[in-house]
Structure 1
Amino acid sequence: MRNIKILFIVSILIFSNQLSAQENDSIPKLGSVDQVDNRLAIDSETKQPVLEFPFLDPYFDFKKNLKDKTGLNFALDYNSAYFGTNSKIGEGDAGAGVFRFYGSWDLVGKESGNSGALIYKLEHRHKYSTIPLSSLGLDMGYAGLIGAPFNDTGYRTQNLYWRQRLANGRLSIVVGFLDITDFLDVYALASPWMHFMNFSFSTGVAAVNVPNDGYLGLGVGGWITKNIYAIAGIADQNGNTANVFEGFDTFFNKNEYFKHLEFGITSAKDYIVLDNIHATFWQRDETAATGDPDGWGFVLSGTKYINETWLPFVRFAYTEDAGSFLQKALAVGVGYQPKPGGHLLSFGYSWGQTNETTFGVAEDQHTFELFYRLQLSQKIAITPDVQFVVNPALNEQQNSIFIYGIRSRIAL
């Protein structure tokens, strides 16, 4: 743990010394496509929809005027998904929905590159079936998750933190109640709301046991040069989204932390999550409440944006203990989007070696996923999705499982 703390402090010193000399020229924002600032910006971009609903224009004009006058930017969305399988064990199908209200309120430095903002995201997660969608994977004997955030945890505080930009916007500090997937091992197709549903193609390639959402933590990220960035953070592993303020007690008294450090490079600053190579290193302490052992690992990830149409990716993760689903994992695939903001077709393949400290010795799993996101309107997307699993590690009755379903998102 001492070495991790040293790396964290050194990274902050590197940022402070290097970033102050950089120019402020259209600085891309660090974080995942689902980090609140980034999600608001992406949803406001012009899409290539099938249908138009102009009667909503006055509402969006109101939102824009409110942001211009007060610095308050907000949005809400509703996400739903339902999947079935041909599994011989378990329920065989599951569904869930998630309502989210989120936003960013610039309160200081609105006219400068050094703005400070309150970031918030409140949610209600509920199931449509006997079990929520997030439980479907383990229920059918698959060592992994299908639709990880589609659970039935009810009302929750996902984000409530302060975001401060410094050095003319080249350095960002976040402190408060965070979501690790906004800042750890991000790449363009990781969003369960918009992209792959299987956790094998998301944060950590299913080989990182991430802390609970709504954890109390600190993150620092910035641009060391015009093309090289770094992100570091420390998180309480006992976050409770039903009562995030318990995090003050667990952070300072239990001392069970998740630490991460990432270095990345992009050849085109406007394509930070699209054209990206990064290495992420992490370590977590033993967690008494869940019984998860301590451990560490790393993730290597590369994506390349080709002709503003194709997005091939390759990702590898290794974990030592830590209670994750997998201890070694490789994911490769490609996304295809003929027009920016239009329909998206993606395919991925993942190989995974289950974590022996979590499940004992089991056969390697092979997972395939194909989805097509139809941009029905500027704010409505429908996504059919099919998956195929070979050697589900915890299902002794079948050599393969077929999974099929549909997801929708309405953003306002």
Structure 2
Amino acid sequence: MKQKIQIPETIKSLNSKGNVHRIVLSGMLLFFIGNNSDVFGQVKTEQDTLKIDQRPSLVAPSDANNQLKSDSEDKNATVALDFIDRTVAAKEAFYQKTGFKIGFDYNSLYMGATESLGNNNHTASGIARVYGRWDLIGRGTNSTGGLVYKIEHRHAYTELTPSQLGFEIGYAGSLHPLYSDQGFRTTNLYWRQSFSKGKIVAYAGFLDSSDWTDVYALASPWESFNNLAFSVGSATIGGLPDGTLGVMASAWLTDKVYAIASITDANARATDIFKGFDTFFNDFQTFKTVELGVIKSKETAFVNNFHLTFWQIDESNYYGSPSGWGINAAATVFVGGKYEPFLRGGWAKDGGSLYQTSVSAGLGYYMGSNVLGIGLNWGQPNETTFGGKLDDQYTSEIFFRWQVAHQFQLSPSVQLVANPALNPNSDFIGVFGLRSRIFL
């Protein structure tokens, strides 16, 4: 018989998220505002543009810039709608004239579990998002500067939200980290600047740490796996704030080696981002990351990728979480133009993470615009976070992303949890999900 462990109050509200010296921040800010002759030029001639050394983005598929690019691509959908194609073309023409690009999507998620500790085992929620960019400097080149934004409204359809369902069924983890009832929030509002023909990219403003930390092609919880164990950090990274004031810089060191570094506010509140000016500069409790990666080629940067990620977070006054640090490793390869096996894992020392040790392995199978994903995870709950030693957990997930129409996706999923650490009455629980995304 398992010993019943009380769930800490801070964990029940985990979905709200919650020392490198100041010289690090100062250095990164100086780097960000440094002069570069390419940045301040206007649109270059066709001959100059052809000489640009195009570099792949080093941020997640769900980053606002990558999401815009993905939304506009030909989906080879089951149902073709000509008027949608005309809408995409009109948006692109408007961007070419003004440098302003906007995207909108509406996301829904239903989850139902075979049992729970309480009375609720069904949950549903929705998220509306407006996101985009406004290129103000160097438009039409690969050394551009401009604003990036993403504003959301997260709302519940039921009393329980999907981000709470894990603890409701006694699972010491996150079945989905995003779907809550937080209301309006600002995930992104920052300046993006590229240097040296795209070899260096820097962000400054209100950021989402998950956009660049330990990402891979199947990292997006909007379109790929639901469970955090198969997403950024394999559930071993504490903090991962969004709507957080800070800076990030990524650079291609060679054609096949890259580096990313960041420092952001550990007390960030995406529902009230401007509080960040007070908490960042006065409390200076921060979340830091450094990542080194190797790729096989620029064209397959995210599917043939090997990287190490180091992170550290200070004690948070706002969230009450302890300081901590950790390391993550990931390997992803692309086989036969269709198969993407991956192996990912991490280890944490405190920091408020869900797991102190976690290993995930799985496979993505690409069928045009449709994707099948299968993942298996072993996770050891963080003793500091949960206030005691818990049994190891085993989780699996399978999802299928079906591109029904050019702007409409449906993703059924099944998650199987063996040995749920917070449920003394069960050895096995199934969770069934259906996610939809409509975007323009």
Q: Give yes or no for TM over 0.5.
A: yes
Give the partner amino acid of 2:71.
D
Aligned match of 1:367 in 395, 405, 412?
Answer: 395
What per-residue deviation string (whole Å, max 9, x for no partner) do you get for residues 339-387 of structure 1? Answer: 3xx2111100000001000111010000000011111011111010001
Pick one of 228, 232, 245 that aligns with 1:203: 232
Q: Which residue of 1 aligns with 2:383?
A: 356
One-letter amino acid matched to 2:246: G
Q: Does 2:237 match 1:237?
A: no
Q: State the 1:243 CA deviation.
A: 1.7
Query: Paired residue for 1:282?
Result: 311
After TM superposition, give the deviation of residue 5 of structure 1 in Å. 6.5
Are residue 63 (structure 1) and residue 91 (structure 2) matched? yes
2:256 to 207, 213, 227: 227
Q: Which residue of 2 aligns with 1:335?
A: 364
Residue 8 of structure 1 and its aligned partner are, at CA, apart by 10
Which amino acid in the other structure matches residue 159 of structure 1? N
For residues 202-240 of structure 1, the C-alpha deviation after alignment (integer angstroms, 9 at most, x for no partner) is: 111001112431000100001000111100000101111
Is the 2:191–2:204 contact (alpha carbons within 8 Å) kept by the matching residues of 1? yes
Aligned sequence identity (%):
40
Residue 333 of structure 1 contacts residue 349 of structure 1 at CA under 8 Å; is this kept in 2? yes
- Tell me the CA shift for residue 133 of structure 1: 0.9
Inter-partner Cα distance in structure 2 for 1:324 and 1:163:
29
Secondary structure in 1 matching 2:405? coil
| Aligned match of 1:315 | 344
TM-score (norm 1): 0.94
Other structure's SS at 1:143 match: coil
The CA distance in 2 between the partners of 1:321 and 1:250, in whole Å, is 22
Any gaps of 5 or more consecutive residues in structure 1?
none
Cα distance, 1:7 vs. partner?
11
1:338 is displaced (CA, Å) by: 2.8
Q: Does 1:293 align with 2:322?
A: yes
Aligned pair partner of 2:221 in 186, 189, 192:
192
- Residue of structure 2 equivalent to 1:399: 427
- Report the residue type matching 2:402 in the other structure: L
Aligned-partner Cα distance in 2 for 1:121–1:284: 24
How many pairs are equivalent? 403
The one-letter code matched in structure 2 to 1:334 is L
- Separation in 1 of the partners of 2:334 and 2:416? 26
Give the AA of the match of 1:74. Answer: I
- Assess if the C-alpha contact under 8 Å between 1:263 and 1:280 holds in 2: yes
AA aligned opposite 1:221: S
**2:371 matched to 1:344?**
yes
Letter in 1 for 2:400: Y
Q: CA deviation at 1:111?
A: 3.0
User: How far off its partner does 1:4 sit?
Assistant: 10
What is the rounded CA distance, in whole Å, between the counterparts of 1:358 and 1:265 in structure 2?
A: 33
Whether the aligned pair in 2 keeps the contact of 1:194 and 1:373 (CA below 8 Å) is yes
Unaligned segments of structure 2, at least 5 residues: 1-18, 39-50
Cα distance in 2 for residues equivalent to 1:174 and 1:49: 34
The structural deviation recorded for 1:6 is 6.2
8 A contact 1:8–1:232 mirrored in 2? no
Q: What is residue 377 of structure 1 aligned with on the other side?
A: 405
Are the counterparts in 2 of residues 88 and 397 from structure 1 also a CA contact under 8 Å?
no
Q: Residue 48 of structure 1: CA displacement?
A: 2.2
Q: Quick one: which amino acid aligns to residue 258 of structure 2? A: Y
Paired with 1:143 and 1:40, the residues of 2 have a C-alpha distance of 34
Tell whether the 8 Å contact from 2:104 to 2:129 is kept in structure 1 after alignment: yes
Does residue 86 of structure 1 match 2:114? yes
Q: Deviations over 1:231-265 (max 9, x none)?
A: 00001011111221110011001111000000001
Return the letter of the residue paired with 1:321: D
Give the alignment partner of residue 163 of structure 1, picking from 176, 181, 192: 192
2:202 aligns with: 173
How many angstroms does 1:150 deviate by? 0.7
